[in-house]
Amino acid sequence: MLANVLDYDDGHRITKGHPGAMVIPAALATAEATGADLASMMEAVAVGYEIAIRAGVRLHERESQYHASGAWGALGAAAAAGRLLGLDGGRLEHAVGLAEYHAPIALIMRSVADPAMTKDATGWGALLGVTSAMLARRGYTALASTFLTDGPSMDLGARWDLLETYVKPYPCCRWTQPGIAAAVGLLQNRRIDDIDRVTIHTFDAAARLSERQPSSSEDMQYSLIWPVAVALVEADFGVDGVLADFSNADVATVAPGG
């Protein structure tokens, strides 16, 4: 969960989100509660990833708006927790159905436009997943999950979507990563004084990351200009950049509007 707070977590390009921020905390908490061994916990994590990623892909195929990770990751968290709780097939279906029905309507572009600690709704996603599995264990029922009943075969066990995840090299929004990497690479062969101007070409959604001088960690994490400016000044961008007071005069000079 801390990885998501720092925006230093894993990701999956097709879901445009972060399965680990919900699946791993859910599995850890449930493993601790049940006394499960490490192998059982890791198996649950793998199961949770596969369900979460597939749920995210199907949600984005079905919905026109871009939902944050908590909207689909909760299903993976429920699957991971349900496995560790020893749920049978029927109760596991109810656990996933409960997570799907109660999943947050978390529209990520709202978070991008007005950054706050809500971010990807991963905290609620993890909590909802574990709660759904615990309720299902006690006999609480749910509507049939559209994720489980609609669409083609999920190829569970035949295809491992977990292998398609990545871990961010820099602690901020995925859309800013290429710009930061380019800035760091640029300074491998020259000094910042040798650079007259930097122009960033990107897509529309990323262009909305328009904060020039952030006032909070969330502002910075959903900024494109400021992290690139930090990378140009310091030849790197790490956790210190996330936790800074954002008053660095050198960075402000490089960033337009600073």
The structure's pTM equals: 0.87
Residues 110, 206: one domain? no
Phi and psi, residue 167, nearest 5° = -120, 130
Residues 35, 134: one domain? yes
Residues 137, 190: one domain? no
Please tell me the least confidently modeled range out of 54-58, 229-233, 248-252. 248-252
Residues 35, 68: one domain? yes
Please provide the DSSP assignment of 59-75 as one string. HHHH-SS-B-THHHHHH
Q: How far is Cα 145 from Cα 101, in angstroms, rounded to an integer?
A: 8
- Report the pLDDT value the prediction gives residue 117, as an integer from 0 to 100: 77
Taking only the tens place, the pLDDT of each residue in 65-123 is 888 899 999 999 999 999 999 999 999 999 999 999 999 888 877 777 777 777 888 89
- Is residue 49 scored above 70 in pLDDT? yes
Residue ranges with strand state E in the chain: 10-11, 166-167
Q: Which residues contact 7 (CB under 8 A, 6 or more apart)?
A: 119, 168, 171, 172, 173, 221, 242
Total domains in the chain come to: 2
Task: Give how far the C-alpha of residue 22 lies from the chain's centroid of Cα atoms, to the nearest Å.
Answer: 8
CATH number at residue 44: 1.10.4100.10
Residue ending a domain, choose from 167, 198, 220: 167
* Domain region containing 213: 174-254
Confidence class for position 211, pLDDT limits 50, 70, 90: low
Residues 12, 93: one domain? yes
